[in-house]
């Protein structure tokens, strides 16, 4: 799994620019680059924990495949998010092929 122990747990380890990924018996392919990550914690577990010691690996591997992910930023606590990092598409068509080996 791809996990970084941040002081405050949060979703992390995403890799963008992938066109194919194989995790165990799962294989995924797309002609368009996509984002993926793996974790032994669910997003809900990461969001619910305030400290790393509160996280207990479940033994299950979470695999997340995303069309894209938008960067974060705001004018209230830092600079505005640059346009090239904003996800502004309104109508998205994304094709991904799954196979199990």
Q: Any idea where the domains of the chain sit in the sequence?
A: 15-100
- Three-state SS across 5-66? CCCCCCCCCCEEEEEEEEECCEEEEEEEEEEEEEECCCHHHHHHCCCHHHCCCCCCCEEEEE
The SS3 call for residue 83 is: helix
Looking at per-residue pLDDT, the higher value among 65 and 79 belongs to 65
The SS3 call for residue 80 is: coil
Q: Is 91 exposed, middle or buried (0-12, 13-18, 19+ CB in 10 A)?
A: exposed
What is the pLDDT at residue 74?
61
Rounded Cα gap, residues 1 and 77, in angstroms: 31
Provide the mean pLDDT of the chain: 86
Q: What pTM value is reported for the model?
A: 0.76
pLDDT tens digits, 23-38: 999 999 999 999 999 9
pLDDT for residue 73 is more than 70:
no
């Amino acid at each position: 799994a791809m996990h970084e122990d941040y002081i405050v747990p949060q979703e992390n380890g995403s890799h963008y620019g992938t066109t194919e990924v194989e995790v165990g018996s799962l294989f995924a392919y797309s002609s368009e680059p996509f984002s993926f990550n793996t974790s032994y914690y669910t997003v809900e577990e990461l969001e619910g924990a305030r400290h790393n010691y509160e996280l207990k690996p479940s033994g299950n591997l979470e695999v997340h495949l995303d069309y894209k992910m938008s960067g974060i930023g705001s004018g209230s606590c830092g600079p505005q998010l640059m346009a090239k990092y904003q996800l502004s598409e309104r109508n998205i068509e994304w094709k991904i092929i799954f196979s199990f080996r």
